[in-house]
Amino acid sequence: MLKIENLTKYYGDKAAVKDLNLSIAPGEIYGFIGHNGAGKTTTLKSIAGILKFDSGDIYVDGHSVKADPIACKKVMAYIPDNPDLYEYMSGIRFLNFVADVYGVDAARRGELIQRYGDALELTDSLAQNISEYSHGMKQKLAIISALIHEPKLILMDEPFVGLDPVASHTVKRLMREMCDDGGAIFFSTHVLEVAEKLCDKVAIIKNGELIRSGTMEEVRGDESLESVFLELQE
């Protein structure tokens, strides 16, 4: 579903990501962990088509992000760490806007908005302006907007920040369901317990370089993910 080949991205003279290689298969929840400034967001934004990268390539569902970004974006969704949304729109207008852009028909979008809105307890607030939403509500709306076009791959940057425990639990369930249906999720997190419980695979990045990746068992061995992570960061 996602293949990253030798991804390198510089900011000026500083390499934010160096020669990164990674593959995610359908059905996998892939965690991406690393210290602040390690290159997680840069990697996610490069995959999402927000950032141009200097070398290497990224393939989403077989399409190159460099050569055919539109095809990649059609099957992908991105949820940023800070969900800045159009505050002049109501929640439902924003969802309809996203659904229009992705070509979701009226019946299907209605069904999905109801399903995910109810699951995240946001349905009643959809008529309100986004400017009146709390951070958590905006995060929920961003998650619903990512799900309503039924992407094959979802990129999430710190998806649980700002969510209450119930919503957090629901999002984890939805992530699992999506992957059980053949989708894939690549998400960054600082909460190692979440990564440990939720992910099928995990990658650890340090100073822009991938220092370990694989299944949870391969990465942590007999230790906890936290111990491995701290060891690797030293």
Partner 1 sequence: MLKVLLKKQMYEMLSGILTNRRTGKRRSAGALAGFAILFAFAGISMSFGFGALYLLTATTLAGGPDVPGQLLPVEYGGLYFAFTGIITLMLGIIGGMFTTYSILYMPRDNELLLSMPVKPSVILASRMLSVYLMIVIYTVLSYVPAVAVFFISSGFRTDVLLMSLVMYIAMTFFVLALSCFLGWLLALIAAKLGSKKVVTVVSVLVTAFAYYFFYFGRNQVMKLITDDPANAVRVFRTTPLLVFFSYGEGSGGSWLYFLIFLGIVAASMSLAMLLLSGSFIALVTTRKGRKKKVYVARTARTNSALGALFRREIKRFVTDPGYFINSGFGSIVFIVAAVIAAFNTPGLRSLIASMQNPAGEGPSVAISPAMLPVTVLSATALVLFWTPISASSVSLEGNRLWILKTMPVSTTGILAMKLAVHELFAGIPAAIFVTAAGIILEMGVLPTVLLCVAALSFAALAGSFGLMLETHNPKLDWTDENVAIKQNYNVLFVMLAGFGITTLFGAFIPICMFFPVVLIPALVFQAAVAAGLSVLFFRISARLWETL
Q: Is 123 in the site for partner 1 (CB under 8 A)?
A: yes
| 177 Cα distance to chain centroid | 15
Q: Provide, rounded to whole angstroms, the least separation between the CB of residue 54 and partner 1.
A: 13
Query: Site mask, partner 1, residues 160-179, x = CB under 8 A?
Result: --------------------
Query: Site mask, partner 1, residues 130-149, x = CB under 8 A?
Result: --x-----------------
Q: Which of 4, 15, 12, 93 has the alpha carbon at shortest distance from 48?
A: 4
Q: Provide, rounded to whole angstroms, the least separation between the CB of residue 181 and partner 1.
A: 21
Q: Is 125 in the site for partner 1 (CB under 8 A)?
A: yes
Residue from the set 21, 37, 54, 97 that interacts with partner 1 by CB under 8 A: 97
Gyration radius of the chain's alpha carbons: 17
CB of 68 or CB of 200, closer to partner 1: 68
Residue from the set 31, 34, 39, 91 that interacts with partner 1 by CB under 8 A: 91
| φ, ψ of residue 56 in degrees (nearest 5) | 85, -175
Q: Which of residues 194-213 bind partner 1 (CB under 8 A)?
A: none
Q: Is 2 in the site for partner 1 (CB under 8 A)?
A: no
The footprint of partner 1 (CB under 8 A) covers 12, 45, 48-50, 52, 70-71, 73-74, 76-78, 80, 82, 84-86, 88-93, 96-103, 105-107, 109-110, 113-114, 117, 123-128, 132
